[in-house]
Amino acid sequence: SSSSSSSSSNKASMPTQKEGPKERLDKELANFKTLQDSLQATYNSRMGLVAQQQETELVKQEFENLEEDASIFKLVGPVMVKQNPDDAKANVEKRLEYINGELERSNKIAESQEKDMQQKQQELIKMQQGMQQEEAISGGGGS
C-alpha cells in the first residue's frame, strides 16, 4: 500500500471533501484492526480458561478415585497444608462452576466481537468497491 500514499499527494489539487474516501477507509481499517486485536485477546483468555477447566476436571476425577481415609493436601505458597476432604471437594466444585461461568461469558463476548468484525468487514468491502467505482468514473487510470 506504499503506492497509495504517493497517489494521494498527486490528488492534492483536487478539491477535498470534508474527509476523503481514502481517509475514511484508513480510519475504518484501523477500527477493524482494533476489533481483530480485542478478539484475539478474547481467544487467548478463553484458552487459559479451557486449560484451567481441564485441570480442575482432572482434580475432581482424582477426588472421586480417592480412598475414604486418604489425606488431601493443598499447596499454599511453599507449604503443603492438609485439607478436609469435603472442603477440598466443595472448593473444586465452586472453582469449576466459576470457570464454566467465565467460559460462557467469554464465548458470548467472542460471538459478539466476531459479529462486529463481520459487519465491519462488509462495510470495508463496500467502501473499497465505492472508491474503485469512483476512480473508474473519474478516469483515475485503467485498472
pLDDT 10s digit of each residue in the chain, 143 long? Answer: 444 444 444 445 555 446 787 888 899 999 999 999 999 999 999 999 999 999 999 999 999 999 988 999 999 999 999 999 999 999 999 999 999 999 999 999 999 999 999 999 999 999 989 888 888 888 755 55
Global pTM reads: 0.70
Backbone angles phi, psi at 71, to 5 degrees: -90, 140
Burial (CB < 10 A; 0-12, 13-18, 19+), residue 49, is buried
DSSP string, 74-91: EEETTEEEEE-HHHHHHH
